[in-house]
Every structure is written in C-alpha cells, then in structure tokens.
Amino acid sequence: MRIISAKEFLRQRTNAHAAEPREEVRSTVERIVATVRRGGDASLRELTANLDGVRIQDFRVPKADWERAWKRTTPAVLRALEAAAKNIRAYQSRLRPKGALKVDVAAGVSVTTEWRPLPAVACYAPGGRAAYPSTVLMMVLTARAAGVPEAYVASPPQRDGRPHALVLAAAHLAQADGVFVLGGAQAIAAFAYGTESVPRVPKIVGPGNAYVAEAKRQLFGTIGIDSIAGPTELAIFADASVDAEWIATDLGAQAEHDPDARCLLVVPTADQAKEVEAAAQRLAAASPRAAILKKSLVEQTVVVLAANDEDVVRVLEAYAPEHVELLCRKPERIAKRLVSAGTVFLGPFAPASLGDYATGANHVLPTGQSSRWASPLSVYDFMRQVVHQRVDQRGLASIGDVAVQLGDAEGLPLHADAVRRRMR
C-alpha cells in the first residue's frame, strides 16, 4: 500500500485522464467484430473454439439445462438467490415511472412524455475468474421491472461448453427468455448485428473484461449500451472508530475480483493506515485468491491521509469511484456532499458486499470516473421517453412567430415558411 497526503493525491488526480484501450485490444476487437458481422454463427463457432477452447454447435442453451442447474443448486444458495431477487424487484419496481406527464406550455400547446420499455435487451454476465448469478438477477429482473418483454442472457462457456451452473440457475429464477453460451467481444457483436441463432437487440448491458468493454465502445451506435465498464473500484473513508480488520476485509472483498481492481482508503492518521496495511497483508496471505490480492490489495491500494471532512470530500470527489463506503460516525455529513460516486454505503455495518447481493439496489455501476455523469443500472436504462407534441390553431397563433423569427435568423427559410404558411 502507498500512503500519501490528500494534497499529493489531489495533485496527481489533476493530471489523471481516462485510460485508452491498449492497441492490441482495440485491433483484436475490430477483427472479431468484422468477423462476426460477415460470418454469423459460423464465425461464432470458430471464435469460441479458438478463444474459449470449446466447440459449440448450438449457442442457445436449452431450458431443460437451466431447470437442471436450479434443481442441483444447494438449498441455502437457492434461498439466497430468491431473497436477492425479491429485494431487487421491490426496489426497481418502485423506480419505474408511472403514467404520462403532460405539460401545457402555452394556450393550445401541450407536450406529453411517456416512458416505454425497450422491446428486447441482452444481458452480459462475465464468467472468467468467478461466476456471477447475482449479476444475472440484477440485469434481468431490472429489465422485467421496466416492462421489457424479451430479456436474453449471454455468458462465456465453462469447460463443459455451458455457462456456469449458477448463471443458468439465476436465469431460470429471473425467467429470462433465452440464455446464450457466448463470451467476449463476439457476444457483443452477435447481439449488435444478429446472427442465424442470436437475435439482434437494441441494447446490451453488463460488465466484462477489456475486450467486452472495447466491443461496447466500438459498437455503440449500432447497439445501445449501459456503460463501458473498467476494473472495479472502491473508496473507503474510515475514522478511528472502525476496526482495522473490517476495513481490510472490505478492501479485500473488492480487490479479490481482479488484479487490476482499484482500491482507495482515506483515513485521518498514518497510524490507522499502518494498522489497516498490516491487516490487509495478513488477509491476502491467508486467502485462496492470494495471487490476485497480493497485486490489487497489497501493492496497488492507495491510502490517503485526510485530517478533515473538507479534504475527505475533495479526495472522494476527485476519485469518483464505483463504490464508496463511509465507515464513520455520522456518515450523512459526508454523503450529502458527494456527487461523483456510483453508490454510497453509509455506516460501519454497510459493507459494499451487501449491495452486491442483498439490498436490492443494482450492483452494475459506473466505473473509470464515469460516475461523474453516469448512474447505476436501473429501470431507466431499459426504457426510453416518447414525446408527443400537440398544437392546435390557437397554439399555432401563440407560438408560431417564435419559430418564424428563429428560422429566419438561423438562415433556414423553409423552417420559417412551414409555420408562416399555416399562420396565414
């Protein structure tokens, strides 16, 4: 862990910028996207054999396999999945906009906005270093809460040529409309263009590795996306009231995802920083994911010393992370001042792990400082606004001259004439 002052951290972040994709990743994804666009299912079979090491004949997984995976899941995990699903539905269904909003902007002029669900979406569930049934629930159930009639899941093959059994079990619980054994950039391209067996959809959501992120970047416009996800991020502010082992465990819980995971700890004193560092080293050494944690937790975590709330807020806002934990007394005093965070956990009894699984809020979150403008995945990502503009003869008289004057001023005479002729 590297310990620095708040002043030094802020100076470094001033010079920070979003990382560009590596040239090897960019060029590889370009080739994959072009191959899928030209070759359809045949190209998907070749790519899956070469990149995943398995041969797939039919990319759509039979529903009987989902049901079998569900029945073979241990009762305790089934109960946990069901409880998580219940909470996701409860939260996301309350977020869904209800009814139409009509605004009478002038006599005879009204603008009405209606939220309508997308006709279909694809949900990408990673399958590399871990299985993510919770992510399947987060995506599919949120899409269902928005009213999306067709929600598909894509996930990379395991050695048996199927997605992870828990991914299939979660798809069964969420009542997805199809599961496709597809991973990487080729999965994104398949849903963007459609193939003989994979449906073309207007939007794809979900996290993934660098190749998935780059495919979403390159295909945005051909297909809608939620975000371009980078490595997972966690920032913790902890005061002296919180046990160092708790803090280290929370950092480790995020860091164990990936060697490139990014963790930041903000504490008031160097003594507290050293206590957490020692706890983190013990934790990493004892973990079955020790190789990952040695890099992401022990070597890469940055500890910032901030002696007052003003510095804490400035550091967290500059970092703009995916997750923030406020492990302190009266966390609201910090939380109310934060704008740039994907999600914020308040108090010492609210680790980010609870949000990953159990609170009902979505864990598909903005990364790479995109929390400066982006929000967590929600029903709004699966809906779009349809706007109706109604103008009668009275309305034409009341606002027509505005359009005439501005059309002429912009040098677009037919814009003005389209209104002027009606006014006559």
Mean per-residue pLDDT for 335-352? 96
Please name which of 90, 22, 1 lies closest in space to residue 294, comparing C-alpha atoms: 1
Question: Residues near 16 by Cβ (< 8 Å), separated by ≥ 6?
Answer: 369
Residue 128 to residue 291: CA distance in whole angstroms: 16
Verify that 174 and 245 share a domain, yes or no: no
pLDDT digits (tens, 9 = 90+) for 157-176: 999 999 999 999 999 999 99
Residue 240 to residue 188: CA distance in whole angstroms: 46
Verify that 195 and 245 share a domain, yes or no: no
Verify that 137 and 236 share a domain, yes or no: no
At position 150, the amino acid (one-letter code) is E
Q: How far is CA 225 from the centre of its chain?
A: 10
Question: Residues near 190 by Cβ (< 8 Å), separated by ≥ 6?
Answer: 36, 44, 59, 154, 180, 182, 198
> What pLDDT was estimated at residue 258?
87
Domain end point (choices 174, 194, 225): 225
Q: Give the pLDDT band of residue 17 (cuts 50, 70, 90).
A: very low
> What pLDDT was estimated at residue 214?
96
> What pLDDT was estimated at residue 129?
72
Verify that 220 and 245 share a domain, yes or no: no
pLDDT digits (tens, 9 = 90+) for 128-153: 777 899 999 999 999 999 999 999 99
Residue 231 to residue 125: CA distance in whole angstroms: 15
CATH number at residue 330: 3.40.50.1980
Residue 291 to residue 375: CA distance in whole angstroms: 32
Give the side-chain half-sphere CA count within 13 A for 169: 22
Verify that 243 and 357 share a domain, yes or no: yes
17 is catalytic: no
Inform me whether the pLDDT recorded for 335 exceeds 90: yes
Verify that 60 and 179 share a domain, yes or no: yes
Residue 61 to residue 181: CA distance in whole angstroms: 7
10-19, 41-50, 223-232, 367-376: which has the minimum mean pLDDT? 10-19
* Residues 376, 222, 25, 31, Cα dihedral to 10°: 160
323 is catalytic: yes
Q: Does residue 418 lie in a domain region?
A: yes
Q: Domain range spanning residue 417? A: 392-423
Verify that 293 and 334 share a domain, yes or no: yes
Q: Does residue 377 lie in a domain region?
A: no
Q: Does residue 383 lie in a domain region?
A: no
Helix axes 165-174, 63-72, angle to 10 degrees: 110
pLDDT digits (tens, 9 = 90+) for 266-311: 999 999 999 999 999 999 999 999 999 999 999 999 999 999 999 9
Verify that 50 and 132 share a domain, yes or no: yes
Q: Give the pLDDT band of residue 12 (cuts 50, 70, 90).
A: confident
At position 394, the amino acid (one-letter code) is R
| DSSP letter, residue 143 | H
Cβ contact 144:117 at 8 Å? no
Domain end point (choices 167, 190, 225): 225
Verify that 78 and 121 share a domain, yes or no: yes
Strand partners, 387: 113
Q: Which of 233, 275, 277, 322 is catalytic?
A: 322
- Phi-psi bin for 237: left (phi > 0), alpha (psi -120 to 50), beta? beta
Q: Which of 323, 325, 363, 410 is catalytic?
A: 323
Mean per-residue pLDDT for 42-60? 95
Q: Does residue 175 lie in a domain region?
A: yes
Q: Does residue 7 lie in a domain region?
A: no
Question: Residues near 148 by Cβ (< 8 Å), separated by ≥ 6?
Answer: 117, 118, 119, 120, 121, 382
Q: Does residue 138 lie in a domain region?
A: yes
Q: Does residue 304 lie in a domain region?
A: yes
Verify that 42 and 178 share a domain, yes or no: yes
Q: Give the pLDDT band of residue 386 (cuts 50, 70, 90).
A: very high
Q: Does residue 384 lie in a domain region?
A: no
Verify that 201 and 79 share a domain, yes or no: yes
pLDDT digits (tens, 9 = 90+) for 191-244: 999 999 999 999 999 999 999 999 999 999 999 999 998 889 999 999 999 999
| DSSP letter, residue 223 | B
pLDDT digits (tens, 9 = 90+) for 98-126: 889 999 999 999 999 999 999 999 999 99
Verify that 184 and 260 share a domain, yes or no: no
Number of domains in the chain: 3
Domain end point (choices 200, 225, 250): 225
